A and B are shown apart, each in its own frame.
Chain A
Amino acid sequence: SQQGEEDPQALSIQEGENATMNCSYKTSINNLQWYRQNSGRGLVHLILIRSNEREKHSGRLRVTLDTSKKSSSLLITASRAADTASYFCATIEVGTYKYIFGTGTRLKVLA
C-alpha cells in the first residue's frame, strides 16, 4: 500500500450515522493531516494531529493516531448530507518538505 493509504475506498451511510475512515502510512512522521475535497474543488484542511498526540477533536470530527501501528482514523459523528466528499490523509516524512497523500475515501451521506 502507498504511504497515507485510506480505507475504505468508498463509504455510503445514512444521515445521522457515524463515518469512520482509516489511514496507514509507512515512515516516521512529524504530524498527520486530514483533508476534505468536494467534487471538482481544491482540498480543505480539517485537522492536524502531531506525532506526540493520540487523539484530537474538532467539532464533529475525532482523529486518532497510533504511531506504533502507523495508522490514523477519522471519525465523523452525526453525519450530514453536506459531509459528502472525498477525505484524504497526508503525512510528511521527518526531515522533508514533501506531503504524501493517499488516494482518499469517498464518503456519500444519504439524506
Chain B
Amino acid sequence: DVKVTQSSRYLVKRTGEKVFLECVQDMDHENMFWYRQDPGLGLRLIYFSYDVKMKEKGDIPEGYSVSREKKERFSLILESASTNQTSMYLCASSRAQETQYFGPGTRLLVL
C-alpha cells in the first residue's frame, strides 16, 4: 500500500521560530509537493520538486524554503514562523503527471 507520511499531525510554534515539516514517501516518486490549505482558499502550492536537489516555486513561496536531499524525503522550512502561516500543510507525491498521493496533513498553529 502506498504511503506518504508527515512528521507531525499537530504542531504549535511561537512567532519567529524556525519550523521544519518533514514528508517521506515510499513509492519512489520523482515529484513531491507542499501545499497549504486554508478555509475558502482551497489548496495552494508552496513548492514542488521534480528530482533530488531540484525545486520550483509554487504560487505562495514567500516565507518558505524546501530541501530535497534524498528522493523519498521533502522538507518544508518556515525560516521565521509568523501567525499568518497558521494553516494545514499537506505533502503529496506523484509519478509524472499522474495521481497524487497525500500525507495526512500537519495542522500548524503559530502563536
A-to-B contact residues, CB < 8 Å? 2, 30-31, 33, 35, 40-45, 48, 88, 90, 92, 97-104
Q: What 1/0 flags go to B32-65 for Cβ under 8 Å of A? A: 0101000011110100101000001010000000
Q: Which residues from A are CB-within-8-Å of B48?
A: 97-98
B100, A99: Cβ atoms closer than 8 Å:
yes
CB nearest to B31 among chain A residues: A97
CB nearest to B35 among chain A residues: A101
Main secondary structure of the interface of B (DSSP, over half): strand
B105, A30: Cβ atoms closer than 8 Å:
no
Q: Which residues from B are CB-within-8-Å of A99?
A: 33, 45, 94, 100
Q: Which residues from B are CB-within-8-Å of A41?
A: 104-105
Question: In whole angstroms, how far apart are the Cα atoms of A42 and B93 in the complex?
Answer: 12
Question: In whole angstroms, how far apart are the Cα atoms of A99 and B35 in the complex?
Answer: 10
